[in-house]
Amino acid sequence: MKNKPIYVTQPTLPNFEKFTEKLKELWENKHLTNNGKFHQELEQKLADFLGVKYISLFANGTLALMVGLQALRITGEVITTPYSFVATTHALHWNGIKPVFCDIKEEDTNLDPDKIEALITPQTTAILPVHVYGNPCNNNKIRKIADTYGLKIIYDAAHAFGVEQNGKTILNWGDLSILSFHATKTYNTFEGGAIICKDAQTKKRIDFLKNFGFADEETVVAPGINAKMNEVSAIMGLLQLDLYEENRIKRQMLTKLYEENLKNISGIRFLKELKKLKKNYSYFPVFIDKNKFGKSRNEVYDLLKQNNIFARKYFYPLISQFSTYKELSSAKKANLPVATKIADQVLCLPLYAELKNEEIKRIIDLILWK
């Protein structure tokens, strides 16, 4: 008999009775969306929880990215990473902005700040880095470049919920940070997302833009879109806040178990734990070097799959390899040697709070099976 499937992730759900209690309240007040009671409560609670001043909730992270770019009136060219989920670059494309792909660093798989400057042209208006797997980008270097050239920084922080460096949230970095609360994320609202910004004026503009541009019943101030979070998602978000820390600790312990068992295996590398970093343990990527390990990433992926274990190749293929982007001059593999290598080696192993130690041991046994 086959073991039950194990996916790369699985959402932790709040207590069902608590959820239905809140739904009952929603059924009574009948205000289902458009800045309702639960939406307002969640914005307040999330701002406190994350340590940020202004947050606007969204229907998903992709719309948050698209609106964030609109809010800052970003145009022309934007320097970004090919090593991310495709939504990062799609958000540029939907805004008529040309993505310019920059290579990444092997140590953290984030945009390589030392390679940004060479890509700046008179058309460049912003940098769109991603805190991949929740590991912080080198903000000091990126900020310095942005300040020198008068560029905006929009962080795709879809993976970085709750991440802190030196005791402070990383979500206040840049001009804006974008979160995703998709079901596969460590904090989820079914579908959802948010923009974090620095001042009330920008939040106001973002809030107009996510609601068709309405400033009041009869005034439309911008060509907005509908990107609002609904009340059922906001309820989910409120209940998820209570679960977050306990689940983070569980994922931390599971991560340690993987690391203990894989640390001395030649040809398998994982990302180094940075000092003074409060991680969210959202993913456990390993990088497999066939020459040293004996099996390729694809062979390990297939072997796990045959055993009902669904690891994922986040992020292969590179965004720059998709048909919409592959003809761009910055998309050439020769320009992106590190990203190309990492994308060919990466495998994200299952990691979620309810995963059992025995299941991790089974995954490790399969990986190491000769």
Contact between 156 and ligand T4K by CB under 6 A: the answer reads yes
- 193 Cβ neighbours under 8 A, 6+ residues apart: 57, 58, 59, 60, 61, 62, 63, 64, 65, 158, 178, 179, 180, 181, 182, 229
With CB under 6 A as the contact rule, the residue among 56, 135, 139, 180 that binds ligand T4K is: 180
Specify the amino acid at residue 151.
L
Contact between 284 and ligand T4K by CB under 6 A: the answer reads no
Q: Rule CB under 6 A: which of 288-347 touch ligand T4K?
A: 310, 312, 314
Beta pairing class for 309-310 and 6-7: parallel
Q: Is 268 left (phi over 0), alpha (psi -120 to 50) or beta?
A: beta
**Nearest-approach distance from CB 237 to ligand T4K, in angstroms:** 13
Other residues' Cβ atoms within 10 Å of the Cβ of residue 32: 12
**Total of residues contacting ligand T4K (CB under 6 A):** 24
**Nearest-approach distance from CB 121 to ligand T4K, in angstroms:** 25
Contact between 280 and ligand T4K by CB under 6 A: the answer reads no
Edge-first strand order for the sheet with 164-165 is 168-169, 164-165, 277-278
With CB under 6 A as the contact rule, the residue among 12, 70, 88, 125 that binds ligand T4K is: 88
Contact between 12 and ligand T4K by CB under 6 A: the answer reads no
**Nearest-approach distance from CB 110 to ligand T4K, in angstroms:** 11
Contact between 84 and ligand T4K by CB under 6 A: the answer reads yes
Q: In this complex, which beta carbon is closest to ligand T4K, that of residue 366 or of residue 368?
A: 366
CA angle 56–62–66, rounded 5-degree value: 75
Whether the upstream peptide bond of residue 49 has omega within 30° of 0, thus cis, is: no
Contact between 182 and ligand T4K by CB under 6 A: the answer reads yes
Q: In this complex, which beta carbon is closest to ligand T4K, that of residue 281 or of residue 293?
A: 281
Q: Which stretch binds ligand T4K (CB under 6 A): 151-159, 231-239, 267-275, 298-306?
A: 151-159
Q: For residue 167, how far is the Cα from the chain centroid? A: 20
- Integer Cα distance of 17 and 32 in angstroms: 19
**Nearest-approach distance from CB 285 to ligand T4K, in angstroms:** 11
The pair of structure tokens assigned to 14 is 């709040």
Contact between 103 and ligand T4K by CB under 6 A: the answer reads no
Contact between 7 and ligand T4K by CB under 6 A: the answer reads yes
Beta pairing class for 152-156 and 176-180: parallel
**Nearest-approach distance from CB 115 to ligand T4K, in angstroms:** 19
Contact between 60 and ligand T4K by CB under 6 A: the answer reads yes
Rounded to the nearest 10°, the torsion over CA 132, 228, 63, 215 is: -120
Closest CA to 120 of 136, 94, 142, 138: 142
From residue 110 to residue 149, the character string flagging contacts with ligand T4K as x (rule: CB under 6 A) and all else as - is: --------------------x-------------------
Q: In this complex, which beta carbon is closest to ligand T4K, that of residue 184 or of residue 252?
A: 184
Instruction: Give the SS3 label for residue 160.
Output: coil
- Integer Cα distance of 265 and 97 in angstroms: 43
Q: For residue 323, how far is the Cα from the chain centroid? A: 23
Contact between 36 and ligand T4K by CB under 6 A: the answer reads no
Binding residues for ligand T4K, per CB under 6 A?
Answer: 7-11, 60-62, 84-85, 87-88, 130, 156, 158-159, 180, 182-184, 193, 310, 312, 314
